[in-house]
């Protein structure tokens, strides 16, 4: 996602701040916490690698974890794939031309064709929609540094530690993760 750094910006290339965020499949989707993210002035593989390294540093590698991404060149780069291979993660990429090209599953789990379909990456799509609705479209940033600072505060202070999420019983992500971690330690399967 790119964030407009200046009001009325017409040149996306020179005035936007690309953002990459990771909420790994199992634990983070269950808690809605953004565990890795990065911002840069480019869309190179380094942007995604930095976000992935942050996620791995915070939660450690979980071998077999499925990491969904789109099929942008950053996610197919050798450096990004090396990190995934070393951490023993499974990369899942959408096909070209599909913004939600991951395996679609029924929201109810039934096979009724009338049921609403939901994408497995819906929590990340929801995060980016919330970021735009709650921050980006409400403020005008004079500089990229201002945009970076506001996004840092939104993710690390508000979204992960204050914002309640209906999908996790109106808990905040930090509480949900702590509760989930406690259950895993006390009641291992």
DSSP label at 95?
P
pLDDT of residue 173: 87
Q: How far apart are CA 57 and CA 77, in angstroms?
A: 20
Q: What is the pTM of this model?
A: 0.71
Q: Measuring CA to CA, how many Å separate 161 from each of 31, 33, 68, 105?
A: 11, 9, 24, 29
Buried b (16+ CB within 10 A) or exposed e, 126-163: ebeebbeeebbeeeebeebeebbebbeebbeeebbeee
Which residue in 174, 163, 142, 164 sits closest to 58, CA to CA?
Answer: 174
C-alpha span between 37 and 48 (Å, rounded): 8
pLDDT digits (tens, 9 = 90+) for 49-79: 999 999 899 888 888 877 877 677 888 899 9
Confidence at residue 12, expressed as pLDDT on a 0 to 100 scale: 37
Distance in angstroms (rounded) separating the CA atoms of residues 178 and 25 = 17
Instruction: Please give the chain's pLDDT, 189 residues, in tens.
Output: 555 443 333 333 445 667 777 664 444 457 788 888 999 888 889 999 999 999 899 888 888 877 877 677 888 899 999 999 999 988 877 655 444 433 334 344 444 444 444 455 677 778 888 999 999 999 999 998 999 999 999 999 999 999 998 888 898 888 888 877 655 555 554
pLDDT of residue 162: 93
Q: Out of 3.40.50.720, 3.40.50.300, 3.30.70.600, 3.30.420.10, which CATH number does the structure's domain 2-186 have?
A: 3.30.420.10
């Amino acid at each position: 996602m790119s964030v407009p750094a200046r009001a009325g910006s017409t040149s996306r290339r020179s005035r936007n701040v690309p953002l990459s965020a990771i909420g790994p499949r199992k634990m983070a989707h269950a808690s809605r916490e953004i565990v890795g993210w990065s911002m840069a002035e480019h869309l190179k593989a380094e942007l995604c690698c930095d976000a992935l390294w942050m996620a791995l540093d915070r939660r450690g590698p979980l071998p077999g974890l499925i990491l969904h991404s789109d099929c942008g060149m950053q996610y197919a780069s050798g450096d990004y794939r090396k990190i995934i291979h070393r951490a023993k993660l499974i990369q899942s990429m959408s096909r070209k031309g599909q913004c939600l090209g991951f395996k679609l599953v029924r929201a109810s789990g039934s096979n009724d064709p009338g049921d609403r379909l939901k994408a497995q990456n819906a929590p990340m799509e929801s995060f980016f929609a919330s970021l735009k609705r709650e921050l980006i479209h409400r403020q005008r940033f004079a500089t990229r540094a201002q945009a970076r600072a506001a996004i840092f505060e939104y993710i690390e202070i508000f979204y992960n530690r204050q914002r309640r999420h209906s999908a996790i019983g109106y808990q905040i992500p930090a509480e949900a993760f702590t509760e989930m971690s406690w259950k895993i330690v006390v009641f291992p399967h």
